[in-house]
Amino acid sequence: MITENIKEVEKKIEAACARVGRSKDEVCLIAVSKTKPVEYIEEAYQTGTRDFGENKVQEICDKYEVLPKDIKWHMIGHLQRNKVKYIVDKVCLIHSVDSYRLAEQINQECIKKNCEADILIQVNMAHEDTKFGIDENNAEEIIREIAKLEHVHIKGLMTIAPYVSNPEENRVHFANMKKLYVDIKHKNIDNVIMSVLSMGMTNDYEVAIEEGATHVRVGTGIFGERDYTKK
Ligand SMILES: *Cc1c(COP(=O)(O)O)cnc(C)c1O
Tens digits of pLDDT across the chain (231 residues): 999 999 999 999 999 999 999 999 999 999 999 999 999 999 999 999 999 999 999 999 999 999 999 999 999 999 999 999 999 999 999 999 999 999 999 999 999 999 999 999 999 999 998 889 999 999 999 999 999 999 999 999 999 999 999 999 999 999 999 999 999 999 999 999 999 999 999 999 999 999 999 999 999 999 999 988 765
Degrees (nearest 5) of the Cα angle 135, 78, 156? Answer: 55
CA-to-CA distance for 32 and 81, rounded, in angstroms? 22
DSSP string, 21-79: T--GGG-EEEEE-TT--HHHHHHHHHTT--EEEE--HHHHHHHHHHS-TT-EEEE-S--
Ligand 1 center–CA 111 separation, angstroms: 30
DSSP state of 219: S
Q: How far does residue 56's CA lie from ligand 1's centre (Å)?
A: 12
Helix (H, G, I), strand (E, B) or coil at 215: strand
CB within 6 Å of ligand 1 — which residues? 32, 34, 55, 76-77, 160, 201-203, 217-221
Sign of the CA dihedral 115, 147, 192, 141?
positive
Which of ligand 1's atoms lies nearest the C-alpha of 30?
10
